[in-house]
Structure 1
Amino acid sequence: MARVLLFGRLADVAGWRERDIPARSLADLRGRLAAEDPALFEALQGPAVRTAVDQQLVSLDVDLRPDSEVAFLPPMSGG
């Protein structure tokens, strides 16, 4: 199972910050999230949302290991 982490507004939309979700790839994970929570899936499609797998930013589909960590990162603002 992949450990899925949501940050910022993504966690607010989902109502959770961390969960274990069975998935073989990033595309599989996104499909599972879409089926479970369309609002979260829509939020994840935002152009500035970044994805990190095992603490490395990725932009394409990647295979996940059973112990992978997937973090969805919303745009950050500073001040």
Structure 2
Amino acid sequence: MNVLLFAGLKEKIGDSRIALPVEDAITAGDLRNLMYTKFPQIEGDVFQIACNESFVKDGHIIELKDEVALIPPVSGG
């Protein structure tokens, strides 16, 4: 599963796109937990999951073909 990363997540992981070893559909919550396990440097970071350009809740099923992005909160002034 290809995942796009933005802002602080991109900086901490060191890339704007990663491939996760997922062979079947996964919930957004399971994806979040997988990210924390695979990338311990982001554990505790807050981010939203977007699937096909729409924010989704943890129970949403993400298919392998879906476009997935992890987006941390953005502050501005």
Q: State the TM-score, normalized to the length of structure 1.
A: 0.74
Aligned residue pairs, count: 74
* Displaced runs of 4 or more, over 6 A: none
- Please report how far the alpha carbon of residue 69 of structure 1 lies from its aligned counterpart in structure 2 after TM superposition: 1.6
What residue is the counterpart of 1:30 in the other structure?
Answer: 32
Counterpart amino acid of 1:29? L
* Cα deviation 1:1-39 (Å, max 9, x = unaligned): 3x2111011111111210122162212212221221122
Query: What is the RMSD of the two structures over their aligned residues, measured on CA atoms?
Result: 1.9
Q: Which runs of 5+ in 2 are unaligned?
A: none
With over 3 angstroms needed to count, the CA separation of the structure-2 counterparts of 1:59 and 1:71, relative to structure 1, is same
How does the TM-score come out when normalised to structure 2? 0.75
Provide the identity percentage. Answer: 30
Distance 1:17 1:63 in 2: 23
> Hey, what's the Cα distance between the residues in 1 that align with 2:66 and 2:43?
20
